[in-house]
Amino acid sequence: MFNYILRRLAYSIPILLGVNIITFVLFFMVNTPDDMARVHLGDKNVTEEQVEQWKHERGYDLPLFFNTDMTETIFYQKSVPLFLFQFGNSDQGRNINHDISQRMWPSLALAVPTMIVGLLVNISLALLLIFFRGTYLDTSGVIIAVMLMSISGMFYIIGGQFLMSKLWHLVPISGYAYSFDAWRFLILPVVIGVISGIGTGTRWYRSIFFEEINKDYVRTARAKGLSEFKVLFTHVLHNAMIPILTGVVVVIPTLFMGSLIMETFFAIPGLGSYTIDAIQAQDFAIVRSMVFLGSVLYIIGLILTDISYTWVDPRVRLS
Amino acid sequence: MADIKIVVLWTDSLLFLLLGLALFSVFHILKNPYLRSTWREVFRSKISMSAFVILIFYIAVGFLDSLHYRTALSSSTPSSETHYSVEVSSVLDLIFSSVRENQEKTYSAPFAATQLSKESIEQPDGTFKREYPRLEYGGSHLKADLSDKTSDILYRSFIAILWAFLIWGIIFIFVRTKVNKNSDIPWNVALITTGILILCISWLLQMSNGYHVFGTDKVGHDVLYQVVKSIRTGLIIGTVTTFIMLPLAIMLGIMAGYFRGWVDDIIQYLYTTLNSIPSILLIAAAILTLNVYIDNHADLFQTEAQRADMRLLFLCIILGITSWTGLCRLLRAETLKLRELGYVQAAQVFGVSKLQIIKRHLLPNLMHIVLITIVIDFSMLVLAEAVLSYLGIGVDPSTSSWGNMINAARLELAREPVVWWSLAAAFIFMFVLVLAANLFSDAVRKAFDPRGNS
C-alpha cells in the first residue's frame, strides 16, 4: 500500500511538470511579460523604465527558458517554488499563500455541505425510483430528471435568488460572515447547488443501481426470501459502491477549490471567486498557482479513489 | 438593385462541412442494412421522433443564420469601386428585418405599446408631463388609447393560425402520400410536432410584424430577434467543438489501444496531464491570451463579425482541447478489448496491414461510442456556453448568445418593475434545445449501446 502511494506520487511529478509547461507557455510565451506589464500599468504612455521596473519587481525580467545558468530563467524561478507550495506574491503584491489559507474556509463551508446533502438526496431518490422500477412513478421520475438536467444551472441560481431573497426576504441575496452567522448566507447556495444537481445525479445513480439489480446475486438474495427493501439497501447499495466512489472520491480534494459560479453569484469570498477575480484582473501569478493547486488536488483525488476501492471491495489489491 | 457580397465566415464553412458530412452519413446509413435497423430503433420511439423534429427546426434556423452577406453601400460616383457595408447580415436577418430595423429607446415589456419607464413629454400646449411614451415600433399602428390592442392581437393570431394550417396541410398531404401507412415509425408524432412548431413560428412572425413579442432590452433591441440569433451560436458551440476534437480523440485513442507500449504511455501521459488542469481555468487562460492577441492585431479582421467569429471558433477549439480526453480514454479501453478478438487476430495472421485493420475492423466497431459521445456532449456544451459567457470567458460580447443575454439581464431582476423577459426568453429557448437534445441522445444511446442499459 505504502509503496503503491509512493509510486503514484512519483508518477505525478512528470504530470505536474507537464501542467506547468502548458500554463507557462500560455502565460509567458503567448502573452509576454511586456504585455502583462502594459495591462497592469494601464496607461498607454508608460515609459520603458516603468515596464522594466514592474518586470524587475516581479522577477519577470529574466530570459524565459534558456540562460547560461539554467536557474536564472523565469521558468525555473516560477516553477520550482510551486512544487514546494510556495506561491509567492501575486502581481498586485499580495501573498498568495496567505490569501489561499484565508479563502479556503468559505469555499469549504459552501462545497462540503453541498456535496454531502446532494449525495444523500440523489442516492435516496435513485433508490426510490429503483424500488418502484417499471411503475409510473419510475417513468415519470426519469422524465422529470431529464427535464431538470436540461435547465441551465444559472436558471436555478437566478430564480432562487429572486424568489427567496427578493420576493420573500427569507435570506440575504449574497455576502458572507466570518462567524457562525454564515449559515444564513450559505443556506440558499447549498440548497440551489443540491437542486441543480438532482437531475443529473439521480439519473446517474439510478442507472448504476439498475445495472446491479439485474445481476445474479440479487436474484439469489430474493430467492432466499429477503424483502425487496433489504435486497436494495444491503446488497445492491453495497455493490454499487464502486461506481459511486469513482465519481465521488475524485472530486473531494477539488472541493477545496470552491465553485466558481456559486461563489461569484453569491459573493462568497472563497477560492473560486478568488480565481475569477484574478482572471478578470489578468493576475497571472494567482491563476498559475490555482492551476497548479487544482492539478495537485486532482491527482490526490485519483490516488484516494484507488485507495477507497480496497476499502469497499476486498478483491481489489493495490500493487 | 442592391449589390451583395457573400461572406463565408470560418464557422459558417465548418457548419456547412458538418451538414455535408451529416447528409453523407444519411446516405451511408440508408445503404447499410445493419445501421438502418439500429437507426429505425431510434426513430421508433415517439419521444425521440418529436425531439428530432425540434432539433431539425433549430438546425434550420442556425443554417439560415449562417448564410452571410454584406450589402453594397450606394456610392455617389458609379465608376468607383463598390464598397460594402461593414455590417455582416444573414438570411435570417431578412426575415426579421422589421424588428431589426425598428429599435426602441430602452426597455419595454412583451407586447407593450408604451415604454417601461416614464419620460417628460412635451404636450401640444408647451407644458411637460411625465408619462409612459409610446414606442416607435411596438404597437405603433394602434389607436391612441390602445382600446383596439386585444382585438388586434386576436386578429393577428387568427391570421397566424390560418397560415400555419395552410403550410402544415401541404406538408401533411405530402408526407401522407409518400409514407407507408403500416410503417412502425411514428410519422403522426412527427407531423404533430411539425404542426405545433409551424404554428409557433407563424404566430411569432405574425406578431413581430407589429409588436416586440419578448419585449426589448436596455438599448431597445428586440429580445425575440436576439434569442433567435443565439441559436446559431449554441449550435456551433455544440457541434463544431465535438468535431474539432473527434479526429484527435479517435486517432490517439485507437493508437494507444492498438499499439500499446510506449505509444500508449505517451498518449496516456498527455491526457492525464490535460485532464488534471481544471478545465475552466485552462479555458480562461486560453481566452485571456487570445484577447491580448486580438487587441494587438486588430488589423487582421475586416469586420467586427469576423473578429467575433474568430473568437467563437477559438472558443470551440479550446473547448475541444479540454474535452477530447474523455472520449480518447473510452476509445482506448474499447480498442484494447477489440484487438484481442478473433476477427482482428485472424486479420493479423492473414497479414492485413495495420492501417487496414484499423480502418476495416476497429473503426466501424468504435463508431457507436463516438456517436453516443457526440449526442451527449452537445447538450452539455450548449449549457457550458452560457456559464462561460457569464464568467466573461465565453463568446465575444458582440455575438448574440444565450449566455450574453443572461449576463446582461441578470442584474435587471433587481429593478422595479422587474425586467424578466430577456432572461425568460433565453432560458426557454435554451431549455427546449437542450431537452430535445437530451431526449434524442437517450434514444441514440439506448439503440447503439450494446449493453442495452436503460
Q: What would the pLDDT profile of A199-228 be if each residue is shown by its tens digit?
A: 999 999 998 898 888 888 888 988 988 888
**Cell 476509445 maps to which residue?**
B331
Compute the nearest-CA separation of A31 from chain B (Å).
Answer: 6
pLDDT band, residue B75 (cuts 50/70/90)? low
- For residue B305, pLDDT over 70 is answered with yes
Question: In angstroms, what CA-CA distances link A299 with A189, A218, A243, A295?
Answer: 27, 35, 18, 6
Q: What is the pLDDT of residue A67?
A: 66
Q: What is the pLDDT of residue B155?
A: 87
Higher-confidence residue of B300 and B213: namely B213
Q: Does A19 touch chain B (CB under 8 A)?
A: yes
pLDDT in tens, A235-284: 888 888 888 887 888 888 888 787 888 888 888 898 988 888 888 777 77
Q: Do B386 and A211 count as a contact with CB atoms less than 8 A apart?
A: no
Q: Do A15 and B273 count as a contact with CB atoms less than 8 A apart?
A: yes
Q: Is there a contact between B228 and B216 (Cβ–Cβ < 8 Å)?
A: no
C-alpha cell at A259: 465553485
pLDDT band, residue B223 (cuts 50/70/90)? confident
Q: Chain B: residue nearest A19 by CA?
A: B273
What integer is the mean pLDDT of B351-374? Answer: 88
Q: Do B272 and A261 count as a contact with CB atoms less than 8 A apart?
A: no
Give one word for B351, left, alpha or beta, with left for phi > 0 and alpha for psi -120 to 50.
left
Q: Is there a contact between B232 and B65 (Cβ–Cβ < 8 Å)?
A: yes
pLDDT band, residue B122 (cuts 50/70/90)? confident
H/E element, B141: none
Cβ neighbours of residue B160 closer than 8 Å, sequence gap 6 or more:
B199, B202, B203, B205, B206, B207
What's the mean per-residue pLDDT of chain A?
A: 84
CA B412, B415, B421: angle at the middle one, nearest 5? 50
Q: Do B277 and A291 count as a contact with CB atoms less than 8 A apart?
A: yes
On chain B, the residues whose CB falls within 8 A of the CB of A149 are: 438
Question: How far apart are alpha carbons B172 and B188 in whole angstroms?
Answer: 9
Question: How far apart are alpha carbons A63 and A77 in whole angstroms?
Answer: 11
pLDDT in tens, A31-73: 677 777 777 776 666 777 777 777 777 777 777 666 666 667 7
Q: Is there a contact between A63 and A238 (Cβ–Cβ < 8 Å)?
A: no
What integer is the mean pLDDT of B277-300? Answer: 78
Q: What is the pLDDT of residue B81?
A: 64
Cβ neighbours of residue B370 closer than 8 Å, sequence gap 6 or more:
B246, B250, B327, B331
- For residue B129, pLDDT over 90 is answered with no
Q: Does A225 touch chain B (CB under 8 A)?
A: no
Q: Strand B89-90 to strand B68-71: parallel, antiparallel, or no bridges (unpaired)? A: antiparallel
Higher-confidence residue of A176 and B453: namely A176
Q: Do B277 and A30 count as a contact with CB atoms less than 8 A apart?
A: no
Q: Do A154 and B390 count as a contact with CB atoms less than 8 A apart?
A: yes
Question: In angstroms, what CA-CA distances link A253 with A23, A43, A248, A312?
Answer: 21, 41, 10, 19
pLDDT band, residue B452 (cuts 50/70/90)? low
Give which of B269, B287, B288, B416 to mutate to test A binding, by max A Cβ within 10 Å: B288
The full length of chain A comes to 319
Give residues 238 to 257 of A whose Cβ lies within 8 Å of B. 254, 257
Across the A/B interface, how many CB contacts are shorter than 8 Å?
116
Partner residue opposite A147 with nearest CB, options B272, B280, B435? B435
Question: How far apart are alpha carbons A106 and A109 in whole angstroms?
Answer: 5
On chain B, the residues whose CB falls within 8 A of the CB of A261 are: 387, 390-391
Q: Do A150 and B442 count as a contact with CB atoms less than 8 A apart?
A: no
Question: What are the b/e assignments for B229-239, b being 16+ CB within 10 Å?
Answer: bbbbbbbbbbb
Partner residue opposite B277 with nearest CB, options A27, A162, A295? A295
- Helix/strand/coil for B134: strand
The secondary structure of residue B419, as a DSSP letter, is: -
Q: In 3D, which of B386, B398, B231 has the Cα closest to residue B305?
A: B398
Q: What is the pLDDT of residue A81?
A: 79
| DSSP symbols for A61-87 | -S-SS--SSTTSSHHHHHHHHHHTT--
Question: In angstroms, what CA-CA distances link B60 with B52, B244, B432?
Answer: 12, 22, 15
C-alpha cell at A129: 425510483
Q: Does A162 touch chain B (CB under 8 A)?
A: yes
Q: Chain A: residue nearest B285 by CA?
A: A26
pLDDT band, residue B76 (cuts 50/70/90)? low
User: Number of helices (H) and strands (E), helices first, in chain A?
Assistant: 15, 0
Q: Do A149 and B438 count as a contact with CB atoms less than 8 A apart?
A: yes
Residue A101, Cβ neighbours under 10 Å: how many?
10
Return the minimum-mean-pLDDT range out of A130-144, A235-249, B135-149, B359-373: B135-149
Cβ neighbours of residue A12 closer than 8 Å, sequence gap 6 or more:
A296, A299
Q: Is there a contact between B194 and B50 (Cβ–Cβ < 8 Å)?
A: no
Q: What is the pLDDT of residue B331?
A: 92
Question: In angstroms, what CA-CA distances link B284 with A190, B280, B400, B413?
Answer: 25, 6, 20, 27
Q: What is the pLDDT of residue B249?
A: 92
CA B340, B343, B348: angle at the middle one, nearest 5? 75
Compute the nearest-CA separation of A19 from chain B (Å).
Answer: 6
On chain A, the residues whose CB falls within 8 A of the CB of B414 are: 166
On chain B, the residues whose CB falls within 8 A of the CB of A254 are: 278
pLDDT in tens, B163-203: 889 999 998 888 888 877 777 788 888 889 999 999 999 98
Q: What is the pLDDT of residue B82?
A: 66
Q: Do A254 and B278 count as a contact with CB atoms less than 8 A apart?
A: yes
- For residue B453, pLDDT over 70 is answered with no
Give which of A17, A202, A211, A279 to mutate to test B binding, by max B Cβ within 10 Å: A279
Q: Do A150 and B413 count as a contact with CB atoms less than 8 A apart?
A: no
Measured in degrees and rounded to the nearest 5, phi and psi for residue B81 equal -65, 140
- For residue B152, pLDDT over 50 is answered with yes
The full length of chain B comes to 454
Q: Does A169 touch chain B (CB under 8 A)?
A: no
Q: What is the pLDDT of residue A319?
A: 62
Instruction: State how far Cα B437 lies from the chain centre.
Output: 11
Question: How far apart are alpha carbons B107 and B222 in whole angstroms?
Answer: 9
Peptide bond into B417 cis (omega under 30): yes
Question: How far apart are alpha carbons B274 and B285 in whole angstroms?
Answer: 13
On chain B, the residues whose CB falls within 8 A of the CB of A266 are: none
Higher-confidence residue of A173 and B407: namely B407
The secondary structure of residue A319, as a DSSP letter, is: -
What integer is the mean pLDDT of A109-120? Answer: 92
- Helix/strand/coil for A150: helix
What's the mean per-residue pLDDT of chain B?
A: 84
On chain A, the residues whose CB falls within 8 A of the CB of B269 are: 14-15, 18
- Helix/strand/coil for B4: strand
What integer is the mean pLDDT of B54-75? Answer: 85
Q: Do A30 and B293 count as a contact with CB atoms less than 8 A apart?
A: yes
Question: In angstroms, what CA-CA distances link A112 with A86, A158, B392?
Answer: 26, 22, 27
Q: Do A260 and B391 count as a contact with CB atoms less than 8 A apart?
A: yes
Return the minimum-mean-pLDDT range out of A198-202, B300-304, B321-325, B390-394: B300-304
Percent of chain A residues past pLDDT 70, beyond the cut: 93
C-alpha cell at B153: 392581437
- For residue A115, pLDDT over 90 is answered with yes
Please report the ipTM that was assigned to this predicted complex: 0.85
Question: In angstroms, what CA-CA distances link B48 with A75, A149, A151, B43, B443?
Answer: 53, 17, 18, 6, 6
Compute the nearest-CA separation of B199 from chain A (Å).
Answer: 23
C-alpha cell at B143: 389607436
Question: In angstroms, what CA-CA distances link B226 with A92, A141, A164, B400?
Answer: 39, 34, 29, 6
- For residue B1, pLDDT over 50 is answered with no
- For residue B454, pLDDT over 50 is answered with no
What integer is the mean pLDDT of A163-190? Answer: 82
